[in-house]
Amino acid sequence: MAETTGKPEARARGRFVPYLIILVLLLAVVGAAYYQEELGYFFKLRTWDQQAPGRTVLRFLDAGQRGDQKTADSLVGTQELKPLVKEGKWVGYTMTTNAGILDFRFDELAPASAPNEVPTEFVYAGNGAAMVKVPDHAGKPVDYRLELRGSDWKIMEIRAGRRRS
């Protein structure tokens, strides 16, 4: 009489394991394909560090309040924001738009007290961006749009300012 090796349940389980592995791999591939765009932006925008764009804006505002133009300039990623000088002193930035000339003065942009964290929303369209809200001196939220350039977040747009008359 020939003996069979192993119990029938063990043999059935042994046949089931490769199918389970194939099913898990198939679900992983389908999931990666479905979320491909989000996964791409996750790595492109380094969204694992949610506070990085906010830290850039806070450094920018701090540099502006201290009068450190070199540091503030290094955090700006557009040539459209030009230094604003009043009475021989650098006080912020200016930008020419279709609506006129906008002035962005640090005494108006900087919050009364520096927040520890600022709300950040990532934009998963085009090249990707981050929108950061920081309250100004009066507590009104100001939006900053940043883009990742190389390994650094750069301020591309400030959605505030005073129109020059």
Q: Report, as an integer, the average pLDDT of 9-29.
A: 73
Q: What angle do CA 153, 155, 158 make, to 5 degrees?
A: 150
Reported as a single tens digit per residue, the pLDDT across 82-110 is 999 999 999 999 999 888 899 999 999 98
**Average pLDDT value for the chain:** 83
Q: What's the pLDDT score for residue 126?
A: 76
* Cβ atoms of residues 51 and 146 within 8 Å: no
Q: What's the pLDDT score for residue 103?
A: 93
d(CA 98, CA 16): 67
Q: What's the pLDDT score for residue 57?
A: 94
What is the pTM (predicted TM-score) of this model? 0.74
Is the pLDDT at 3 greater than 60? The verdict is no
Looking at domain 52-163, its CATH class is alpha beta
Per-residue pLDDT band for 114 (boundaries 50, 70, 90) equals confident
d(CA 105, CA 156): 16
Q: Which residue has the tokens 């700006």?
A: 76
Burial class (CB in 10 A: 0-12, 13-18, 19+), 76: middle
DSSP code of residue 76? B
